[in-house]
Structure 1
Amino acid sequence: MTDQVNFGDELVSPAEKTRRVGAVFSSVARRYDMMNDLMSGGMHRLWKDRFVNRVKPLAGEDILDMAGGTGDIAFRMAKRGANITVSDINADMLAVGEERARQRGLTGLTWKVQNAEKLTFADGRFDAYTIVFGIRNVTDIPAALREAHRVLKRGGRFYCMEFSSSDWPGFATLYDAWASNMIPRIGKVVADDEESYRYLVESIRRFPRPEAFRKMVADAGFVRAAAEPMLGGLVTIHSGWKI
């Protein structure tokens, strides 16, 4: 890793980025899903349904949902009978997810505080690894991808959904202007936290384009690495297999 990494548009040390990202998600944890609705016009729910349909969780499978936080993806997969371990570096996000699971009467999920760059799980532990809107917040993304590969069984599958910039010229310009100006203001009004939502917008802008990230997935050892862009790449489902 280099001596400095991006925290949004600011250069900081790797340790400082990890600390600041933790502070961001501790701050927004209680209102995270409501903010997702406001920022996406509710579309994140459709994207997540599509994502889980791509993963195709099966009854009895062991799946690691990394950066699973408030449980949105885990709940969808658990309903199909898979055994889900929900992991997140942020204990506050996990606490929200556990409370939501109790409210829904969902049992059988395992909740673990984990750093995606240094997982404590054994080699070949899981049938699938999922991470949704989380990998761009990881300090050392290649390390996290290598860990995802390590903890998967042979034949295991990797699925990631993440924001980036759209390549639809008119839409890209409009979305960037709206996101830069409105999302921090919404964060101020709804969550009393303008700066955290400013960081989230900046982190989306700086995340690699779909083809560049597809190559990173392949470089981590996954075969058949693929990218399925939506809205010109604003949101992309990435996948790969361990053989």
Structure 2
Amino acid sequence: MTEETTHFGFKKVATEEKEALVGEVFTAVAAKYDLMNDMMSGGVHRLWKRHFVATSGIHQGDLVLDLAGGTGDIAKLLMPQIGKQGKVIIGDINQAMLDVGNDRMIDAGFMGRFECIQMNAEKLPFEDNSIDAITMAFGLRNVTNKQQALNEMYRVLKPSGKAMVLEFSKVNSSVLKKLYHFYSFKILPEIGHFVANDRDSYQYLVESIEQHPDQETLKSMFERAGLEMCGYENLSGGIVAIHQGYKL
């Protein structure tokens, strides 16, 4: 029997091994993850995330599942959106990332308005039709079976619920693409080595971006999951894109 394989960055690995390998990466970078994002993007990731939440259409009182939300940055931004009657469930497969997010949310004074749960996006621990909205920022590319994760989002969303994914995508300018590629593969791993003494983890993060589906492919995957009114918005020339779809 042929062993099923998937990508871990540019490497091909057994499908059953990827979850553990990704876990090792994020355990290694958890403590300095947000600092590294600042250095890698010049702080622009914060603007992307603010726009992502500001345009989410999430309402006061909503129950929101923030997948791959470990460090709590999206959850913090969601607090004014959901109000005191709403709640954010921070879901992440990596406990080290969740520990960072839990401490951050408590320090910010949000006790009782959030919950951190370790979970796999491919098998969400919720009943059908139970979540008002799902957000996922810079996490889908690390999921082994992305289509299954989108299928699960559709399953747990309430009718009229919305799924939103902010993720690195494909640059639509040839000049910008060359500059971005050089920066990603030549500079970013060295930043990882200098700041976190961990070149390999950041090399993987760069490679995982390169392997992620482009905008139209991901849109079709949203549709295949059953989501409707699917679309995307490119930010920074397509370096990242916000995808969305509704369960009608």
SS of the residue corresponding to residue 55 of structure 1 reads coil
Partner of residue 88 from structure 1, selected from 85, 89, 92: 92
SS of the residue corresponding to residue 86 of structure 1 reads strand
Please state how far the C-alpha of 1:57 moved relative to its aligned partner: 2.1
Q: What is the CA–CA distance in structure 1 between the aligned matches of 2:209 and 2:237, rounded to whole Å? A: 14
Please state how far the C-alpha of 1:79 moved relative to its aligned partner: 2.5
Partner of residue 114 from structure 2, selected from 109, 115, 130: 109
SS of the residue corresponding to residue 79 of structure 1 reads helix
Please state how far the C-alpha of 1:56 moved relative to its aligned partner: 2.4
Contact 1:164 / 1:206 at 8 angstroms: preserved in 2? no
Alignment pair present for 1:18 and 2:12? no
CA offset digits 1:155-208 (Å, max 9, x no partner): 000100000231211111001111101111111111111100000000001111
TM-score, length-scaled by structure 2: 0.95
Q: How many residues align?
A: 242
RMSD: 1.0
Partner of residue 219 from structure 1, selected from 216, 224, 229: 224
Partner of residue 233 from structure 2, selected from 218, 228, 234: 228
Alignment pair present for 1:195 and 2:196? no
Q: Which runs of 4+ in 1 moved over 4 A?
A: none
Letter in 2 for 1:32: Y
Letter in 1 for 2:225: A
Please state how far the C-alpha of 1:59 moved relative to its aligned partner: 1.6
CA offset digits 1:186-234 (Å, max 9, x no partner): 1111111110000000000111111111111111100011011122321
SS of the residue corresponding to residue 55 of structure 2 reads helix
Q: What is the CA–CA distance in structure 1 between the aligned matches of 2:121 and 2:182, rounded to whole Å? A: 32
Q: What is the CA–CA distance in structure 2 between the aligned matches of 1:232 and 1:17, rounded to whole Å? A: 30
Letter in 2 for 1:36: N
Contact 1:209 / 1:233 at 8 angstroms: preserved in 2? no
2:78 match: 77
